Every structure is written in structure tokens, then in C-alpha cells.
Amino acid sequence: MGRKNIRISRYSHVTKIKLDRNNIAVGVWYTRHGVKRFARASKEIIISTGAVDSPKLLMLSGIGPSEHLKSVGIKPKVNLPVGQNLVDHVVTVLPSVIIHKPLTFDPTRDFGLDTIMEYAINGTGFLSLPGAVAAEGFISTENVRKTGVDWPDMQVYFVTASTCINRRHQGNMGRPDDPKTVVDSKLRVLHTRGLRVADASIMPVIVNGNTNAPAIMIGEKAADTIREYWSEQYLVSPQLSTYAFQKKFTQNKCFYSTISL
């Protein structure tokens, strides 16, 4: 990428977050081509390993329900309800329904030589459908409408074979005094410092639609929050006409506070 402020380590699998004795996240262990390595954080660590692996990584690092961690031989460091709220988008397959012949699956038409040639030459036709989804839509079922609210609670795909699933869970974002909360509204893992989670796993309630766009929004919001926090550490003092930021200075301060000049 040619940028000096980012380094991407490909083929790298994070195995554990290192917390020091004050529960400050100081780095991560990872493996790359079978070699165990350690990356030290100069400021903070942001975990974005998704709805299954983020809670897994936290728990492997000792952040999770203490009793459960002990039962699997992990020394608990921070007792939080990590991984307690997995929600799946449930998918069911219905028998074939003919809506309108040109829209529905017809093996003789859809898997014929013509279809293959159309895709090979023009990149169009049945084989170009993403995930074989010919059409989709959102529906408010009777269950929702009888509550007086009209918003979709069902998504319908017209497909040739069933796929699934949107997952989301783990560590709710929420109020720090709520026992179900794992991260606060700035995505900071409670009772730690220098550690955030920014991915689909933090949604307190699953969204009605697909989760990918909301996950991107979470990333954008996290970027804003993090930039705002660190910008405050670099505030120029009008009195001193100098940069207020000094590594030692911020390290001594609480992660949750901002510099007051």
C-alpha cells in the first residue's frame, strides 16, 4: 500500500491478547507460517475478528465468564459475559414455489450449455447470480403487525439451493452497569484498558436486515471514536504553545479520560 502509518501482516492468526497485571492490553501473540510471534501495542488494541472469533479471542485471553474459563483450564482475568448472546439468522428451506416461470429455477434451462456459454462469454445469466439468489425481499409477518409495529421480521430469498446465515453476538455493547455488557459505547472492553472490539459481535440486539452494512457502520463509528480520543491527546496547549502529548504522560492517565489543559 505504500503507506508508512500502516503495516499489514498477512497469513497471521492472533492467538491471545496479553494483558498486564493492571489489565492493560499491551500486545497480541500471533502465528505466521507456524512461527509464534508477538506484536506490542504502542497505544491500544482493536479486535475485529468477527462474531465467533472475537469472543473466542477474548476468552482465550482470560476475558469471559470466570467459571466457564476455569472449567476449560483458562486462568480468568476479567469476569465478563463474553459469548453469552449468540444470535443466528435462522434459515428454513421451503418446497419449490412457482411464482413466475422465468424467475424460478428450471434445471433444463438454468444448467444447460447455453447458460454456461452465456456466462463464459458475457458474464451474465443464471450462473452470474450471487449465491444463486434470484430475488430477495423483506416482509412484516402477522406476528409483528399485530404488535402495531410495521417493520420486517422475515427475509425471503428465492434460491436454487439453500445457504444461510448471518451470525452476530457475544459481548453486547451497553451500559457499564448492565450485567450483560462487555463493551461500552466507545467499544472499550470493560475493566480493561487499551482494548476495544469493533465488529458485528457488539450489537446489543440483532438488526432486522442483513448484518454486513451495520458491521461496516460499526467500523466507521469506531474509527471516528478512536480518532477523536487520540486527537485529544495531541491537543496543542495555547498556554504552552507545544504539544501536550507525551507517551509517559498519557500512560499514567486513565485510558477513559482526556487531557485537561
Ligand X SMILES: Cc1cc2nc3c(=O)[nH]c(=O)nc-3n(C[C@H](O)[C@H](O)[C@H](O)COP(=O)(O)OP(=O)(O)OC[C@H]3O[C@@H](n4cnc5c(N)ncnc54)[C@H](O)[C@@H]3O)c2cc1C
Q: Does 63 bind ligand X (CB under 6 A)?
A: no
Q: Does 165 bind ligand X (CB under 6 A)?
A: yes
The helix/strand/coil state of 206 is coil
For cell 489543559, what's the residue?
Answer: 261
Closer by beta carbon to ligand X, 196 or else 199 = 199
Q: Does 202 bind ligand X (CB under 6 A)?
A: no
For cell 403487525, what's the residue?
Answer: 145
Q: Does 200 bind ligand X (CB under 6 A)?
A: yes
All three cell numbers of 211? 448484518
For 85-99, b/e burial (b = at least 16 CB within 10 A) is beeeeeeeeeeeeee
Q: Which of residues 116-155 bind ligand X (CB under 6 A)?
A: none
Q: Does 53 bind ligand X (CB under 6 A)?
A: yes
User: For the window 211-250, what string marks contact with ligand X as x by the rule CB under 6 A?
Assistant: xxx-x-----------------------------------
Q: Does 17 bind ligand X (CB under 6 A)?
A: no
Q: Does 166 bind ligand X (CB under 6 A)?
A: yes
Q: Which stretch binds ligand X (CB under 6 A): 48-56, 74-82, 101-109, 238-246?
A: 48-56
Rounded-to-integer distance, Cα 241 and Cα 235, Å: 10
How far is residue 101 CA from its own chain's centroid? 39
Q: Does 194 bind ligand X (CB under 6 A)?
A: no
Could you tell me where the DSSP H helices lie in 88-162? 107-110, 113-122, 142-145
Min dist. Cβ of residue 16 to ligand X (A):
9
Q: Are 208 and 193 in contact (CB under 8 A)?
A: no
Rounded-to-integer distance, Cα 66 and Cα 216, Å: 31
For cell 411464482, what's the residue?
Answer: 99
Closer by beta carbon to ligand X, 14 or else 195 = 14
Rounded-to-integer distance, Cα 22 and Cα 195, Å: 13
Closer by beta carbon to ligand X, 53 or else 110 = 53
Closer by beta carbon to ligand X, 129 or else 235 = 129
Q: Does 185 bind ligand X (CB under 6 A)?
A: no
Rounded-to-integer distance, Cα 105 and Cα 111, Å: 10
Q: Does 210 bind ligand X (CB under 6 A)?
A: yes
Q: Does 48 bind ligand X (CB under 6 A)?
A: yes
CA angle 217, 2, 6 (to 5 degrees): 50
What residue ranges bind ligand X (CB under 6 A)?
A: 13-14, 48-51, 53, 57, 163-166, 199-200, 210-213, 215
